[in-house]
Structure 1
Amino acid sequence: MAAPVAPCAILTRPEGQADSLARALNAEGIDALEFPLLDIAPQADPAALAALDGALRSLPAYALAIFVSPNAVAHALARLVHLHSPDNAAAGDDPDAEVTGGSAGAHWPGRLPVAVVGPGSAQALAHAGIAPPSHRVIAPPGGPQARFDSEALLAQLDLPSLAGRRVLLVRGDGGRELLADTLRANGAQLDIVSAYTRRAPVPDTAAWAALEARLALPERCAWVLTSSEAVRHLATLLAARYGTREGVHTPGTPQVLAQILAAPCFTSHTRIADAARCAGFDRITQCAPGDENLLAALKTWADPIQVKHDDR
């Protein structure tokens, strides 16, 4: 299969979470290939689900609730609506039960402030009906030098005021411990609950074929890497498909791997850039957080390719 002429951005977010960026890229004449490197699913472990439900039923007892990601917001608030919906009472603790019963904002205590790491989580809260002025939402400030991570959020919190008070931290399975460690070190009584799980997907034959066809001309392709965990999954997938840890390759695979690693990468955080470097990429552009900044950086990269194509 001949490689496409148009520039192509390889989007690695979980399935269904790159749609809006893909549409924006297409509008700029940039092809978008979705190659998910994370699978996100509602929490299904009975013990973890019971802990989540217990926390959501006790929201008025907390001084602060923190969501670490848009996925944490979406899955926890879907569960909150489920718990308050008479239509779903018969479903018991089924995490996949259909959610009805209106907006999560109707069930969120007005006096309970919410803290989030970035604008994506704030938008997910607003979509669920939790937004100023009826609710207090704490988030790192935007701007050209903005950072959207645990460190930036901690700088916005009044940590001494949380000493001896209950704080709820909603996340997926695992993750960085900086928020939890810092809150505990400042005396907060911390409850950590998991609202979703992350898994490494296994691309099928068609997905690999589509990727390799586009990367036959790596100068026309760019990786969009938005999670350091996803980059580590990618490194594992590449090692399994193109060579063992001892460096033994099947015929032809070293060239394909070289093409994959020769494509430029666009990231929005230093940790993601470091993970990409460890995975073998060396053409890495770190731009400001947010899809609008990723889009602008990708458009700048694609413009010369599009001009060259138009001149043919």
Structure 2
Amino acid sequence: MTGWRLLLTRPAEDCAALAQTLAGEGVFGSCLPLLDIVPLPVSEKIRQAMARLQRCDAVIVVSKPAARIALDLLDDSVALTMPWFSVGAATAQILLEHGLDAHFPVDGDDSEALLQLPRLREAVSQPGAQVLILRGEGGRELLAERLRERGASVEYLELYRRDLPAYPPQELSRRIAAERLNGLVVSSGQGFEHLQQMAGDAWPLIAQLPLFVPSPRVAEQARAAGAQTVVDCRGASAAALLTALREHPRPVF
């Protein structure tokens, strides 16, 4: 895989960790975080939803920021015995370290894999099962849709928003040219929206670079916006990205 030079766009802490992992595999990663995680004010809606946690049949946490913020809001005096679920292992590890009964799919890294998880199927097997999904603003609509089809009652609780950090004009184009980058990586639909926003008038040129995305939904979004070579990694983890890089030869410019 030596020869890939990728723009990494995750939030700063995750971006640095991904760059380090890629470096160990001979892949250069340039960090330009396009998602700044901003916790939402603790509203009465958030307080009430957290107070109802113990009545849930399942709690789904869609990201590491959602896990960290939720854990800060938990009342440690309340026993939480319901199963918790996440798409990826890293989010599950945060929950496990807090002593929660956390589960994640080991054979996938997306909503579809989570929906096939036997423990989740069991948790929502009773009609009217109560499911709470902890997330940022927007995203993971497929989860609620499919769970409702199974008869579950699903509620979203949004705990943070994802802002675009402030950068100088043309910083994206400058970075790509200065570091001779030959691929782009986004971890979510909003990350892609921020990428396109930063590109501005240079988007038609930047859209020619291979773009690695975490899911079919984001792949469809990117293609509709004009991205010419979109690779669906079927997950946002470093392992999923590395697998995709092995399967796709680097471009020669």
- TM-score (norm. length: structure 1): 0.67
Q: Equivalents in 1 of 2:160, 2:228: separation in Å?
A: 32
Q: Equivalents in 1 of 2:28, 2:156: separation in Å?
A: 40
- How much has 1:111 moved relative to structure 2? 2.2
Q: Equivalents in 1 of 2:51, 2:123: separation in Å?
A: 25
Report the counterpart of residue 278 of structure 1 in structure 2: 224
- Please say if 1:116 is aligned against 2:72: no
Partner AA of 1:140 in structure 2: P
- Please say if 1:8 is aligned against 2:2: no
Report the counterpart of residue 287 of structure 1 in structure 2: 233
Q: Deviation per CA, 1:38-78, whole angstroms, max 9, x where unpaired?
A: 2211121x5xx322222323332222212122222121112
Greater Cα offset, 18-27 or 196-205: 196-205
- Please say if 1:192 is aligned against 2:156: yes
Correspondent of 2:193 among 218, 232, 243: 232
- How much has 1:113 moved relative to structure 2? 0.9
Correspondent of 2:165 among 189, 201, 212: 201
Q: Deviation per CA, 1:130-186, whole angstroms, max 9, x where unpaired?
A: 3xxxx2x333341xxx3521x332333237634234332212222243333444454
Q: Secondary structure at the match of 1:281?
A: coil
**1:273–1:209 CA distance, 2 compared to 1 (3 A):** closer
Number of residue equivalences: 246
Report the counterpart of residue 92 of structure 1 in structure 2: none
- How much has 1:206 moved relative to structure 2? 7.9
Partner AA of 2:12 in structure 1: E
Q: Secondary structure at the match of 1:18?
A: helix
**1:237–1:126 CA distance, 2 compared to 1 (3 A):** same
- Please say if 1:51 is aligned against 2:39: no
Gaps of 5+ in 1: 1-5, 85-106, 243-255, 306-312
- How much has 1:207 moved relative to structure 2? 3.6
- How much has 1:205 moved relative to structure 2? 4.1
- Please say if 1:164 is aligned against 2:128: yes
- How much has 1:281 moved relative to structure 2? 1.9
- How much has 1:296 moved relative to structure 2? 4.5
Q: For the Cα contact (< 8 Å) 1:35–1:207, is it kept in 2?
A: no
Q: For the Cα contact (< 8 Å) 2:7–2:176, is it kept in 1?
A: no
Q: Equivalents in 1 of 2:64, 2:127: separation in Å?
A: 27
Gaps of 5+ in 2: none
Q: Deviation per CA, 1:95-148, whole angstroms, max 9, x where unpaired?
A: xxxxxxxxxxxx673521112223232223234343xxxx2x333341xxx352
Partner AA of 1:148 in structure 2: D
Report the counterpart of residue 110 of structure 2 in structure 1: 148
Q: For the Cα contact (< 8 Å) 1:59–1:108, is it kept in 2?
A: no
Q: Equivalents in 1 of 2:91, 2:241: separation in Å?
A: 17
Larger radius of gyration: 1
- How much has 1:16 moved relative to structure 2? 1.8
Q: Equivalents in 1 of 2:19, 2:78: separation in Å?
A: 33
Q: For the Cα contact (< 8 Å) 2:172–2:198, is it kept in 1?
A: no
Percent of residue pairs identical = 31
Partner AA of 1:228 in structure 2: G
Q: Deviation per CA, 1:190-239, whole angstroms, max 9, x where unpaired?
A: 43321211223343248436424347x5xx5211122122112322333x
Aligned-residue CA RMSD (Å): 3.1
Q: For the Cα contact (< 8 Å) 1:232–1:279, is it kept in 2?
A: no
- TM-score (norm. length: structure 2): 0.80
